[in-house]
Each structure stands twice: as C-alpha cells, then as structure tokens.
Chain A
Amino acid sequence: MAGRRSLTLDVPPRSIPGQSQHRLSSRHAHEQVRQLHRNYKLLSEGDIIAEALQQFPTLYALLAEAVEPLRLTFGNDKLRQLEALESDEGIILRVTVQLAADTKSPAELMRSFKRNWWLKNCSRSEASLVFDYEMGDGL
C-alpha cells in the first residue's frame, strides 16, 4: 500500500492499519459486556460478544460513545440491541435501534446518525461494527 496513489482520487487511506495492537483479557472483555448491557439489549451470548471485544479492542469505546448520539437521533426511549454475527469472515457486531412501525423516514434518521457521528468514527471499527434499525413496537 505504501507509495501507491489512487488513480482517480488523490487521497490515500487515513492510515495503514494492521491487526489490533493488543488483545484484551477475557475477564476484562466480559466486564465490558456487563457494562454494555446497561445500554444495549444483548441478542447474542455474552461469550461471543466478549470474543469480538477481545479481538477488536476499539469496539467497546465506540459502542459506549455511540449511546448518546443514538439517543439524540432516535429518542431516549428506543431499544438498542446488540448482536454478534459470526461467519468465516470472523465476527461483526451489529447494533439495531428498534423503531415504532409508524416512524416516519426511518432510513433518513439512520442516515442522520451516520452523517453526524458514525461516519466520523467508523475508521476505528476495523469493519467489525455496523448500525441499523428495525421496525417493530419501538420500545
């Protein structure tokens, strides 16, 4: 990658990342899962979420920091869910905000959250965290 220049956009990547510099201890990661449970309903086993937090130590801070912008965008009372998606690609954590079925322009709300906060921070995620919404009872 070093020395390469884009062909049509003269803008290099922000950094040349490698794997996360260190791996958290299992005990520390499980404590982080307990902390996250205060703000997110966990849809996956704590062990697999802890595994993701061990593998990608930046995710805990992102998840903790995301709570306030999620509240500001979607409302204080909306349920935030966290699930781990495992595949041969590894683990991706997915946050979904549960919205009432009659919510107007839910996609625009999510775009607003991403524009105002997430896209400024997602470079820290190692492509291992996504935000989405689901329509349901919203509580």
Chain B
Amino acid sequence: MAFDWREFLLLAHELRHEREESKQRTAIGRAYYYVYNVALTEIQRLGYDPRTRMGAGGVHKNLWGWCVQHSNDDIVALGDSGNTLHALRIRADYKLQQSPAQDVQKQLDEARDFELLLAQIIKRPAPPPFP
C-alpha cells in the first residue's frame, strides 16, 4: 500500500511540544513535505506538468510558481501558502540563528489551512482534524 503523506503531518503534530530544537526543526520540515507531496499529486490532476520549467529554481519553486501564476484565486492562495511553508522549512533546516519554537505551531496551522483549501479546490472531503 502506498505511503500516506499525511503521516508526516501527524508526526509533526506529535513533535510540536518537544523541547529539543532538533525535533522542532524536524516538525517544521515534515509538515512542509506533507504539503509538498500531497500537492504535487493533486495539482498535476489540475494540469501542472513538473517537466515544464516555470523559471529559476528547483522542483519546489516550480510547483508553487505554477500555482501563483494561475488564474484561479484559490490556486494562487494555495501556491502562496505552500511557498510560505517552504520558506519556513528552509529556515528550519539551514538557519542557525533563530529558535524554531515559535514557528512549529505556525507551520502546523498553515499546513492545516493548506489541506482544507486543497480539499475545497479538488472537491474532496476535508481531512480529519488533528487528533
């Protein structure tokens, strides 16, 4: 059976109160990779072709760049949300200066908003709330 990317989000949720910075940073990253992977699948069904380069950058910027260029306002908002999550993930993985504690809950809230908006766009039932 295929891996359910939402397991990443649930893991991030489990880690949200951990005191160790490594776990806080991991939570931020896992929440982002849930969003990225689930969006990659669903957005291709809306016409996104990962082989079409949208500009400079890699696969992540390419996906969010396609979304923010879209004529549908909800898909634009989805792209901006994904890109906001992406930026916090880069910060958590590469920036030493800032403590990530404040960012964990914000990342989880943004990921939850993202999955609700995605469900609305693709006309599927909303995923269940966090346990």
Contact = CB atoms under 8 A, between A and B. Distances in A.
Interface of A: 1, 4-9, 11-15, 17-20, 55-56, 85-90, 92, 94, 107, 114, 118-119, 122-123, 125-128, 130-132, 134-135
A119 B70 contact: no
B55 A126 contact: yes
A85 B95 contact: yes
Interface of B: 45-47, 49, 52-61, 64-66, 68-73, 75-77, 79-80, 83-84, 86-88, 90-91, 93-95, 102, 106, 109, 121-123
Contacts of A1: 49, 52
B87 A125 contact: no
Contacts of B56: 19-20, 55-56, 90, 126, 128
B52 to A, nearest CB: 5
B99 to A, nearest CB: 11
A134 B88 CA distance: 12
A87 B106 CA distance: 21
B58 A92 contact: no
Binding site secondary structure of chain B: helix
Nearest to A107: B109
A85 B96 CA distance: 12
Given A13-B66, A123-B69, A134-B102, A7 B46 contact: yes
Contacts of B45: 7-8
A134 B54 CA distance: 30
Given A1-B49, A92-B83, A9 B90 contact: no
18 contacts: A8-B122, A12-B71, A13-B70, A14-B71, A17-B55, A18-B55, A85-B91, A88-B58, A89-B86, A90-B61, A92-B87, A94-B91, A114-B77, A126-B54, A126-B55, A127-B54, A128-B56, A128-B61
Contacts of B70: 11, 13-14
B57 A90 contact: yes
B46 A89 contact: no
A58 to B, nearest CB: 11
Shortest beta-carbon contacts, A-B, top 9: A6-B47, A127-B65, A127-B64, A89-B58, A90-B57, A85-B90, A11-B71, A13-B69, A130-B87
A87 B90 CA distance: 7
A61 B68 CA distance: 17
Given A6-B46, A107-B109, A122 B80 contact: yes
Contact of B54 (A8, A17, A107): A17
